[in-house]
């Protein structure tokens, strides 16, 4: 990350464009979400500056006047060198100006960082830092930093590192703030090659190296996955902070609650549902979704989501107390469809019902009659959810009878681990078992006995 984010309590101003295709509600929600992301990083938010425009200005996102207003928060000049000469400035729309800034706000002039809700081009980033005199980050930068702090496994760390380098490469040498933020002097000048190009090339090489390391880990994981193939797997999928990890922990009896920060989970964890069933059911918890997720990051985390493709059941978890939960659900479904999971059996779990009024609950049940309204804090709800999961697998299972001759008695242990024994009886030939299992398991058992 080019920006030094380890400073004590950075004071941030949030900047956002309100584009014509966005409703007032969407615009505000997006800014609210940015504020939560920024809070997750530990920054204090001083205020917001927003502007209605037909499109972002190529030079600096905002128009001239709005940029000057933004600069009054940071003590910058508000001027981009050469701004106003290009044709770009002509679409600047003064009549559309809108601002959330309270004029007698005491904290003006104190912001140490400005955070834009949209993705900034390298030129915009550089221009904005020039005009504002402080560090500027975009939404992608914020998300990358959160991912970077939360990544724990080697796989997640590699994925984040690759995404960060890909994000950083085009932004090298364009910065105006802080002399040595561009990679600590890695750029000794080569013959006929600028330091800038050299750095970029090194970054490309490093990305290639990291990708190789990642591939090795993923091969290992694919192996592990194929071992688990006929064990039923339930994947918890959903927007960040919806409560996936909390549900996972309760369903698998690891009692710790989730954390109230965005992207608390980056790694896929898999545990056995408790109390254990036969055959046992595995539950996986995955990385959360968010709107405007940086492309590099989506690509990097795709392998994590691929785990979900192996699942027999997807539980889409939403936070029912979030006014945006429907659009968050749509974003999630869209990404899952992109990875080819749209036809997977799934259920919609509307979580955090404890935070809802009776009226809200009734409304959700009316609008989404197929959804299951739960709270991860209610024992009854968790039992209900467990029954829902069991029922799905039950519906996929057949009842059948097998005769295990005594000379093949060794197979019985394996059968018990994979299928539910409904009844058993013994005679002079062997053991007769009445079983309930999935068709694949039935085929496997019959093969063992043939």
Which residue numbers belong to the known binding site for GTP? 238-245, 263-267, 285-288, 351-354, 375-377
Please report whether residue 332 would count as binding Mg ion according to CB under 5 A: no
Structure tokens given for 172: 């090298």
Q: Quote the DSSP letter at residue 203.
A: H
User: Which one of the spans 51-59, 171-179, 205-213, 352-360 is the region binding ligand GTP (CB under 6 A)?
Assistant: 352-360
Does the protein bind Mg ion through residue 304 (CB under 5 A)?
Answer: no
Q: How far is CA 138 from CA 121, 256, 257, 407, 431, in A?
A: 9, 33, 31, 68, 67
Asked whether the beta carbons of 318 and 243 are under 8 A apart, the reply is no
HSE-CB of 184 using CA atoms within 13 angstroms: 2
| Least distance in angstroms from the C-beta of 245 to ligand GTP | 3
CB of 393 to ligand GTP, least distance (A): 23
Per CB under 6 A, 60 contacts ligand GTP? no
- Assess 375 for contact with ligand GTP (CB under 6 A): yes
- Token code pair at residue 298: 């989506």
Q: Is 288 in the site for ligand GTP (CB under 6 A)?
A: yes
294 makes contact, choosing from Mg ion, ligand GTP, none, with CB < 5 to 8 Å by partner type, with: none
Q: How far apart are CA 443 and CA 450, in angstroms?
A: 10
Residue closer to ligand GTP (CB basis): 126 or 351: 351
> Is the CB of 252 or the CB of 375 nearer to ligand GTP?
375
Q: What is the radius of gyration, based on Cα positions, of the chain?
A: 27
10 Å CB burial of residue 407 (0-12, 13-18, 19+) is exposed
The partner in contact with residue 351, picked from ligand GTP, Mg ion, none with C-beta cut-offs of 5 to 8 angstroms by kind, is ligand GTP
Q: Give the range of 180-188, 223-231, 257-265, 391-399 binding Mg ion by CB under 5 A.
A: 257-265
List 403's β-bridge partners, or say none. Answer: 432
| H or E segment and range at residue 172 | none
Report the site for ligand GTP in 221-240 (rule: CB under 6 A): 238, 240
Q: Which of 112, 126, 245, 252 binds Mg ion (CB under 5 A)?
A: 245
Stretch that binds ligand GTP, among 133-141, 241-249, 305-313, 407-415 (CB under 6 A): 241-249
Q: How far is the CB of 198 from Mg ion (least distance, A)?
A: 40
Residue 352: which of ligand GTP, Mg ion, none does it interact with, CB under 5 to 8 A by kind? Answer: ligand GTP
Convert 332-361 to b/e letters by CB count within 10 Å (16 or more is b): bbebbeeeebeebebbbbbbbbeebeeeee
Q: Which of 92, 263, 301, 329 binds ligand GTP (CB under 6 A)?
A: 263
Chosen residue from 264, 270, 318, 373 binding ligand GTP by CB under 6 A: 264
> In whole angstroms, how close is the CB of 97 to ligand GTP at the nearest point?
35
Least separation in angstroms between residue 327's CB and ligand GTP is: 16
405: left (phi over 0), alpha (psi -120 to 50) or beta: beta
Q: What is the DSSP string of 104-120?
A: T-TTTT--SEEEESSPP
Unique residue bearing structure tokens 């002509």: 90
- The footprint of ligand GTP (CB under 6 A) covers 238, 240-246, 257-260, 262-265, 288, 351-352, 354-355, 375-377
């Amino acid at each position: 990350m080019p920006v030094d984010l380890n400073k004590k309590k950075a004071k941030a101003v949030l900047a956002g464009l309100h584009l014509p295709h966005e409703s007032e509600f969407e615009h505000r929600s997006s800014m609210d979400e940015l504020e939560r992301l920024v809070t997750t990083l530990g920054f204090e938010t001083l205020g917001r500056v927003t502007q209605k425009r037909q499109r972002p200005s190529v030079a600096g996102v905002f128009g001239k006047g709005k940029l000057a207003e933004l600069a009054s928060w940071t003590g910058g000049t508000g001027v981009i060198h050469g701004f106003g000469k290009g044709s770009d400035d002509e679409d600047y729309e003064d009549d559309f100006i809108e601002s959330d800034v309270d004029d007698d706000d005491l904290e003006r002039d104190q912001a140490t960082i400005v955070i834009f809700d949209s993705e900034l081009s390298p030129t915009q980033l550089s221009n904005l830092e020039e005009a504002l005199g402080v560090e500027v980050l975009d939404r992608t930068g914020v998300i990358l930093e959160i991912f970077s702090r939360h990544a724990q496994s080697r796989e997640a760390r590699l994925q984040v590192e690759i995404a960060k380098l890909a994000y950083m490469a085009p932004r090298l040498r364009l910065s105006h703030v802080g002399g040595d933020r561009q990679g600590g002097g890695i750029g000794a000048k080569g013959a006929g090659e600028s330091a800038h190009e050299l750095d970029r090339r090194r970054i490309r090489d490093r990305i290639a190296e990291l990708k190789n390391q990642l591939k090795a880990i993923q091969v290992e994981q694919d192996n592990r996955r194929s071992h688990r193939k006929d064990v039923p797997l339930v994947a918890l999928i959903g927007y960040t902070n919806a409560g996936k990890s909390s549900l996972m922990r309760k369903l698998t009896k690891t009692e710790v609650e989730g954390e109230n920060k965005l992207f608390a989970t980056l790694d896929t964890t898999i545990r056995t549902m408790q109390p254990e069933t036969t055959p046992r059911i595995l539950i996986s918890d995955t990385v959360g979704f968010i709107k405007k997720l940086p492309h590099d990051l989506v690509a990097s985390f795709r392998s994590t989501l691929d785990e979900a493709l192996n699942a027999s059941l997807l539980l889409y978890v939403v936070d029912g107390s979030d006014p945006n939960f429907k659009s968050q659900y749509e974003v999630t479904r869209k990404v899952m469809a992109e990875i080819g999971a749209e036809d997977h059996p799934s259920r919609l779990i509307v979580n955090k019902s404890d935070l809802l009024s009776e009226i809200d609950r009734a409304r959700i049940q009316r609008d989404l009659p197929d959804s299951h309204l739960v709270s991860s804090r209610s024992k009854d709800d968790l039992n209900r959810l467990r029954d829902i999961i069991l029922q799905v697998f039950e519906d996929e299972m057949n009842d059948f009878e097998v005769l295990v001759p005594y000379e093949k008695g060794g197979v019985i242990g394996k059968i018990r681990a994979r299928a539910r024994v409904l009844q058993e009886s013994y005679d002079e030939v062997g053991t007769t078992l009445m079983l309930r299992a999935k068709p694949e398991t039935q085929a496997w058992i019959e093969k063992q006995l043939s």
